[in-house]
Amino acid sequence: MNGLTIRPATPGDAAAITAVHCSHIRVWRRGGKGEAVPYDALSPYEQWLHGGPWMNAGTCAAYLRRWLGAGHLALVALRGDEVVGEAEFVEDEEPPPYGHVLHLSLLFVHAAHQGEGVGRALVEAGVELARERGCAALTTQPEREAEPFYRRVGFEPWLWLREWQAPAQEAPLPADLRRADDAPYPAGQGLALRVGRYQTGRHMWHEIADRPLPELARLPWGRWQARMPGGETVWLGLRAQPLAPTQADGFVWAPPEADLRPAVETLQALAARLGFAYVDLLLEEPEGGTLAAALGLEFQTDLTLWRRQTIGR
């Protein structure tokens, strides 16, 4: 395959995977957004702020151990002995329209090896994994600049999402609200991630609780279970944005038919209790736009979920 080998990644690949990710950072900055400084002058947390656990070989190795230990998948592409690309996948099953999919949560090719077919080879390997697992599609949430690539390798835009900003707002909380930071992912309960779909439901459930550095552990977050006025049980999540810690990302795992408005208002109230000023809400169109108009939310950005069908084609 084009002189490339694809194999499962192991924590022993961490330094090489870090080199792939770091190849895309042109300037390293103090605190993630301050003055330009050399990479080695930054703490692991400051390196993290440039793109997550992959930015440092130590945090990357620990992350890969957790990722693979949770049953998720990671592949590396090698040219000879050199790791030139990495892809990560989560298998998930949520009610329609999401279904049983393999989700490509990350794809990076070393800057010195872009345009050599590495990305395509990792996507094709992902399609094979999806078929082996009986997944109906490979899905992903591309950066805007990567969309032409995904179109080239067989993906189509599928669901449209918009991020809105809501003010934190003091309000009474539902009587039976229960804090549930340690609860396991409520798989098989007919819940879909309907707010905060940056990745799939299972992925975001784990990601908001993943705080492996002291600076991350200090940032406010939480997960809750609550019964909505319509009688449905929903799960809510909030986590601080590391580069703007007065802002939270908000999450709602709920049945597809549940009215989102009371869940969003509860998130606004919880955000106020945790000391946030704002909560960002990624909602699917068109229901998100209707809710945003009713609540007066401020538009932030557009995102698109893409899919490539893997079965029946």
Taking the least distance from each CB to ligand COA, the nearer of 149 and 205 is 149
CB 246 within 8 A of CB 192: no
Q: How far is the CB of 22 from ligand COA (least distance, A)?
A: 12
Taking the least distance from each CB to ligand COA, the nearer of 61 and 305 is 305
Distance CA 223, CA 240 (A): 12
Instruction: Give the residue nearest to ligand COA (CB).
Output: 119
Using alpha carbons, select from 271, 283, 280 the residue that is nearest to residue 194: 283
Q: How far is Cα of residue 126 from the mean position of the Cα atoms in its chain?
A: 18
- Containing 7, the helix (H) or strand (E) segment is strand 4-8
Taking the least distance from each CB to ligand COA, the nearer of 12 and 148 is 148
Q: For residue 224, what are the CA distances in angstroms to 205, 236, 267?
A: 11, 5, 10
Q: How far is the CB of 103 from ligand COA (least distance, A)?
A: 12
Q: How far is the CB of 49 from ligand COA (least distance, A)?
A: 17
Q: How far is the CB of 122 from ligand COA (least distance, A)?
A: 8
Taking the least distance from each CB to ligand COA, the nearer of 49 and 118 is 118
Q: How far is the CB of 29 from ligand COA (least distance, A)?
A: 19
Distance CA 189, CA 208 (A): 20
Distance CA 197, CA 225 (A): 18
Q: How far is the CB of 107 from ligand COA (least distance, A)?
A: 5
Distance CA 276, CA 170 (A): 11
Taking the least distance from each CB to ligand COA, the nearer of 228 and 303 is 303
What amino acid occupies position 303? L
Distance CA 11, CA 74 (A): 10
Q: Which residues bind ligand COA (CB under 6 A)?
A: 24, 107-109, 114-120, 142-143, 145-146, 148-149, 152-153
Q: How far is the CB of 111 from ligand COA (least distance, A)?
A: 7
| Residue 233 DSSP SS3 | strand
Taking the least distance from each CB to ligand COA, the nearer of 157 and 286 is 157
What amino acid occupies position 248? A
Backbone angles phi, psi at 193, to 5 degrees: -80, 105
Taking the least distance from each CB to ligand COA, the nearer of 196 and 222 is 196
Taking the least distance from each CB to ligand COA, the nearer of 53 and 142 is 142
- Containing 195, the helix (H) or strand (E) segment is strand 192-195
Q: How far is the CB of 87 from ligand COA (least distance, A)?
A: 9
CB 180 within 8 A of CB 224: yes
